[in-house]
Amino acid sequence: MTTKRQRIRNGLILVSFFLFPVFFYYLSPALVIMASGEGTINGSLVIFFLLFISALVVGRGFCGWLCPAAGCQEALFLAQDKRVKRGNILKWLIWVPWLSAIIYLTIKTGGYKKIDFFYQTHYGLSIYDLQSFITYNLILFILIVIPGLVFGKRSFCHHLCWMAPFMIIGRSIRNVFGYPSLQLRAASEQCIHCHTCTDHCPMSLEVEEMVEREKMENQECILCGRCVDGCPNDAITYRMR
């Protein structure tokens, strides 16, 4: 049974996906490089920074509750719900050279000189003509749809996402200092080993094992709460501690 909380989450990520053509450029890894080469802080650089800040408190909650790529990927579960077991390192192999290029270009141009949040958009819209529409759909299929269908559930999040590392680093900083933040709590004595949480996890985590060890922190956890809402014996809960 889908709980009210999960219906709300499904609605949020679907609406976010339908609005993706509007916000596409604000999450672009390419435009941030172009803008940095011109000494400009663009919309995506601002958004990436805000994602890092948000992760200091809510971890990868953005991935679970708001990301436009989430709506598309979870809709694909209807066609392909294979679990993804390996490959999380790949996104770091992409992210490190990408971030290095941004830093290099920023230094080369003498630092940022202006902010243009709507850089390369048309009155704030990302997709506004045939060329941008074709580019958008090509990127959507190559980076999100095809990996999801070939490699399994939320393959883009595991293997390719350039935003996830910002949030993983933010979450790691929180874990070092241990201040209150949104997290999961497990009560292993309440677990009846039905395997539902592991089956439901959109990030293919071994949730039942995490519950058994009462160690729910995982850098791939997107705090979506599907394990919380699916558990028949309330062995997993959200907490702010």
Query: CB of 52: closest distance to ligand SF4 in angstroms?
Result: 19
Closer to ligand SF4 by Cβ: residue 127 or 197: 197
Which stretch of DSSP H or E encloses residue 71? helix 68-76
Strands 236-240 and 182-186: antiparallel
Minimum CB distance to ligand SF4, residue 136 (Å):
27
Please, which residue, 7 or 114, has the CB nearer to ligand SF4? Answer: 7
Q: Residue written as tokens 């003509």?
A: 129
Provide the minimum distance between the beta carbon of 218 and ligand SF4 in the complex, in angstroms, as a whole number. 7
Which residues of the shown chain bind ligand SF4 in the complex (CB under 6 A)?
A: 184, 191-197, 200-201, 203, 205, 207-208, 211, 221-227, 230-233, 235-236
Taking the C-alpha atoms of residue 81 and residue 41, their distance in angstroms, rounded to an integer, is 38
Residue position matching structure tokens 């559930």 = 153
- Paired with 238 in beta bridges are 184
Which tokens hold the place of 155?
């393959």
Residue number with CB closer to ligand SF4 (116 or 214): 214
* Residue 63 amino acid letter: C
The 10 Å CB-count burial string (b at 16+, else e) for 124-153 is eebbeeeebeeebeeebeebbbebbeebbb
Question: Smallest gap, in angstroms, from Cβ of residue 131 to ligand SF4?
Answer: 36
Q: With respect to ligand SF4, which residue has the nearer C-beta, 126 or 181?
A: 181
- In the beta sheet, which residues pair with residue 184? 238
Minimal distance in Å, beta carbon 17 to ligand SF4? 18
Least CB distance to ligand SF4 at residue 85 (A): 14
* Helical pair 43-58 and 164-177, crossing angle rounded to 10 deg: 30
Of residues 38 and 199, the one with the C-beta less far from ligand SF4: 199
Output 111 or 189, the one with its CB closest to ligand SF4. Answer: 189
